[in-house]
Structure 1
Amino acid sequence: MSDDLQLEDPTALKHIFGRQRLAAIAREARDICPAFDRERFLVLCHHGLDHLSLMQRLRRVSTSLHASLPGDFRANVEVLKRLAPRIDSSFATLALGDYVALHGQDDVDFSLEALKFLTPFGSSEFAIRAFLQRDPHAVLATMRRWAADPDEHVRRLASEGCRPRLPWASHLPVLMADPGLAEPILQALRADPSPYVRKSVANHLNDIAKVHPDWVMARIEAWPLHDAACAWIARHALRTLIKRGDRRALTIVGAGAAPRVDVLRFEVAPGLLTLGENLSLTLELRSVTDTAQTLMVDYAIHYVKAAGHASPKVFKWKMLDLAAGHGVTLSKRQMVRDFSTRTHHPGRHVVEVMVNGERLAESFFDLR
């Protein structure tokens, strides 16, 4: 699942499974399998549809497919494999993997091959978790082989499918408790040529770092960080620790030294903001040392809560190399709007700038 979807409100995204798309799925399934009960499928899908969330709609599609397909599990999966390339939404295609997860637990090898086939059309990252929860060691053995697959979608599934805290999915406590179970997969993909795969590996490690930070940092310190792909994963895998100002994590990415800079300007505009408007940040720094330095620049917004107190949320800004005696001006725009995970409240919001984990400047804006 793309991170764009992860950041959006699932309430709005539920229309991915709107009536028009359901009709298209039914039409294509009937074309592939004349015995498919198109009318039954649509009746089942439409029942109470307006009141269902995104993930409830996904599950409704998979259960309705089961009720409307004429064959046994393997025969029905062959129909779904032919259906997958005909669905015009990769997220909607996740319902096919969900079908496999619901009905394939007693046919694991066949089911895993089906999920491997389906993942380029709509990631099987949710569906495979049902199999991992039942037999993590056996399924991870298969996923380790997938880490060497020529298809980047399959390699990404090897990492994303066993992410301990995959958003919108059930967590995997056994992998959070013992991250070493998935370590061979992460090591195999630590310098993958695909950014799609590298992002998954970084997110997987970031999940682990929230509980086992020393474990993650010890592994990354042993990587060949001169390799650009490894270095990219390291920066993104350690982002939560870097936001906390963890000195070891900052040192790994080359920003462990105290910043030797003057803050010439830090501006937050507008000073009075309405929900839905853009916040603009401008930062001007100048080096006060005679050697080059690597700087990790982040900022924190102290969001006002309903009870009146404030809680900081740290955002990434930029990593840069600043030459001796030189200056740099950075700018950033961010829309202030509500998410399913964050509701804004009126009041004064302090904004802080952090460089290499040290807070160097602050300003504020008032939210109406």
Structure 2
Amino acid sequence: MAKSPPAPASTFSMKDWFNADRYHTIADQLTAVDPGFDRKRFLQLTLDGLESRELMDRMRQTARAAALTLSGAVRKQIATLRRIAPQTDHGFVGIWFAEFVANEALDQPDLALPALHFFTRYGSAEFAIRRFIVRDPGATLARMQPWTQDDNEHVRRLASEGARPRLPWGVRLDALIADPTPTRPILEALKADSSLYVRKSVANHLNDIAKDHADYVVAWCAPWQSLGPDSAWIVRHGLRTLIKRGHPGALKIVGAGADAKVDITTFAATPTTVTLGGSLQIDLHLASLARGDQTLIIDYVVHYVKASGKASPKVFKWKQLSLKASERITLRKHQTIRDFTTRRHHAGHHLVELQINGQRLAETHFELKLK
């Protein structure tokens, strides 16, 4: 009798970082350091209804369950968590320690902020710290400023990442969206940080601010370009949204003129009809018409059809290069057209535009079929 084929492996989801095995491990760790810990109730609180919870809900439920089952008052509970945090084997899982602190000690910053400074080494406190910023922005940012000089890159990153105005998944910091100047000293202190991990955060922080205060960011970070390659990298990535928008000041900083002098001989998307899951090929041939060298930032824009039938443009980075006078280039890009959790495709006519130095210079199109 032929054997049945093995069941296909289930697709991993990030929420599975918090699974039954994980909760039993956490329970073992807490039992070892807290004789009064209610292990049975902790497992009941975390495992009951587990499958219905998404990633962030699982993280929050972990913190709530610990608060209800650890012995002692909050100061003792935090001390207990400090003992097990170094055993955490996955950075995102460790976020629940900071969540616990924000839940249980929001009104005790003298206890909570040193705890976040500690726990962020084992799971970023970037979400938790925001609740303290909302509650008392001046005092919290003042406590975060010295973190920019910490020996640990996770702590230095927290000083920037935790105060980002528009951190994905995090509480929006509306006061800092309206007035970004309070975080300027933090970013100034990190503008040449030795860690790429930290520099990425600084660039993302600048990009957040630039969405609301474009001219302010351009004027502020323009001098950074000459401080060295690390600072120049921050500037390029921090201005990426403005470069996509064709902001003249941002383009000037990265050496690209707003008026690209080019002759475009080919800009085409093939095949002209694509089925969802298939691949689109985009070809570009152009020549420089400038008398000298010129920097080109080449992007393409796909206008995705929405459920309403209207189109929503999405800018994709392609290539940044320098062309000599009369120099010709050929570029080719392949893009798979498939659904993501953040984008669902819809059938119809899709416009594709060529964008160079922020200007739309050519267009093509393709038809998308769902099957």
Question: TM-score scaled to structure 2, two decimals?
Answer: 0.91
Distance change >3 Å, CA 335–CA 18, structure 1 → 2: farther
User: Distance between the aligned counterparts of 1:225 and 1:348, measured in 2?
Assistant: 45
Instruction: Give the equivalent residue in structure 2 for 1:253.
Output: 254
Instruction: Give the equivalent residue in structure 1 for 2:25.
Output: 24
User: Distance between the aligned counterparts of 1:126 and 1:37, measured in 2?
Assistant: 27
Aligned to 2:61, the other structure's residue is in SS state helix
User: Distance between the aligned counterparts of 1:332 and 1:165, measured in 2?
Assistant: 31
User: Distance between the aligned counterparts of 1:277 and 1:331, measured in 2?
Assistant: 16
User: Distance between the aligned counterparts of 2:169 and 2:51, measured in 1?
Assistant: 20
Single out whichever of 235-244 and 297-306 deviates more from structure 2: 235-244
Single out whichever of 47-56 and 277-286 deviates more from structure 2: 277-286
Instruction: Give the equivalent residue in structure 2 for 1:4.
Output: none
User: Distance between the aligned counterparts of 1:256 and 1:212, measured in 2?
Assistant: 21
Instruction: Give the equivalent residue in structure 2 for 1:121.
Output: 122
State the 1:39 CA deviation.
1.4
Instruction: Give the equivalent residue in structure 1 for 2:280.
Output: 279
Question: TM-score scaled to structure 1, two decimals?
Answer: 0.92
1:149-160 residue pairs with structure 2 within 5 A?
Answer: 149-160=150-161
Distance change >3 Å, CA 262–CA 206, structure 1 → 2: same
User: Distance between the aligned counterparts of 2:194 and 2:125, measured in 1?
Assistant: 21
User: Distance between the aligned counterparts of 1:217 and 1:166, measured in 2?
Assistant: 20
Equivalent position amino acid for 2:180 in 1: P
Whether contact under 8 Å (2:225, 2:235) holds in the other structure is no
Distance change >3 Å, CA 346–CA 107, structure 1 → 2: same
Instruction: Give the equivalent residue in structure 1 for 2:183.
Output: 182
List gaps (5 residues or longer) in structure 1.
1-10
Q: Deviations over 1:187-225 (max 9, x none)?
A: 111121211111111111111111111111110123343
User: Distance between the aligned counterparts of 2:336 and 2:97, measured in 1?
Assistant: 35
Aligned to 1:56, the other structure's residue is in SS state helix
Aligned to 1:26, the other structure's residue is in SS state helix
Instruction: Give the equivalent residue in structure 2 for 1:7.
Output: none
State the 1:135 CA deviation.
0.8
Say yes or no: does 1:93 pair with 2:88: no
State the 1:170 CA deviation.
0.8
Equivalent position amino acid for 2:226 in 1: L
State the 1:330 CA deviation.
2.7
Distance change >3 Å, CA 26–CA 275, structure 1 → 2: farther
Q: Deviations over 1:89-124 (max 9, x none)?
A: 211111111001111123212211111111121111
User: Distance between the aligned counterparts of 1:200 and 1:129, measured in 2?
Assistant: 15
Aligned to 1:223, the other structure's residue is in SS state helix
Q: Deviations over 1:262-320 (max 9, x none)?
A: 22333323333232333333323322233111111111000011122212111222221
Instruction: Give the equivalent residue in structure 2 for 1:110.
Output: 111
Whether contact under 8 Å (1:248, 1:256) holds in the other structure is no
Instruction: Give the equivalent residue in structure 2 for 1:168.
Output: 169
Say yes or no: does 1:52 pair with 2:60: no
Aligned to 2:191, the other structure's residue is in SS state coil
Single out whichever of 272-281 and 192-201 deviates more from structure 2: 272-281
State the 1:257 CA deviation.
4.1
User: Distance between the aligned counterparts of 1:86 and 1:226, measured in 2?
Assistant: 39
User: Distance between the aligned counterparts of 1:270 and 1:340, measured in 2?
Assistant: 25
Q: Deviations over 1:147-171 (max 9, x none)?
A: 1112111111000000011111110
Whether contact under 8 Å (2:255, 2:295) holds in the other structure is yes
Instruction: Give the equivalent residue in structure 2 for 1:203.
Output: 204
Q: Deviations over 1:70-92 (max 9, x none)?
A: 12212211221222222222111
User: Distance between the aligned counterparts of 2:306 and 2:225, measured in 1?
Assistant: 43
The percent identity for this pair of structures is 51
State the 1:64 CA deviation.
0.4
Equivalent position amino acid for 1:170 in 2: V
Single out whichever of 99-108 and 357-366 deviates more from structure 2: 357-366
List gaps (5 residues or longer) in structure 2.
1-11
Single out whichever of 52-61 and 278-287 deviates more from structure 2: 278-287
User: Distance between the aligned counterparts of 2:256 and 2:32, measured in 1?
Assistant: 58
1:280-299 residue pairs with structure 2 within 5 A?
Answer: 280-299=281-300
User: Distance between the aligned counterparts of 1:85 and 1:273, measured in 2?
Assistant: 50
User: Distance between the aligned counterparts of 1:250 and 1:364, measured in 2?
Assistant: 27
State the 1:226 CA deviation.
5.2
1:342-353 residue pairs with structure 2 within 5 A?
Answer: 342-353=343-354
Whether contact under 8 Å (2:271, 2:281) holds in the other structure is yes
1:216-235 residue pairs with structure 2 within 5 A?
Answer: 216-225=217-226, 227-235=228-236
Aligned to 1:268, the other structure's residue is in SS state strand
User: Distance between the aligned counterparts of 1:362 and 1:242, measured in 2?
Assistant: 19
User: Distance between the aligned counterparts of 2:269 and 2:201, measured in 1?
Assistant: 33
Instruction: Give the equivalent residue in structure 2 for 1:335.
Output: 336
1:301-320 residue pairs with structure 2 within 5 A?
Answer: 301-320=302-321
Whether contact under 8 Å (2:225, 2:253) holds in the other structure is no
Distance change >3 Å, CA 251–CA 86, structure 1 → 2: same
Instruction: Give the equivalent residue in structure 1 for 2:266.
Output: 265
Q: Note the aligned Cα RMSD (angstroms).
A: 1.8
Whether contact under 8 Å (2:218, 2:250) holds in the other structure is yes
Whether contact under 8 Å (2:258, 2:358) holds in the other structure is no
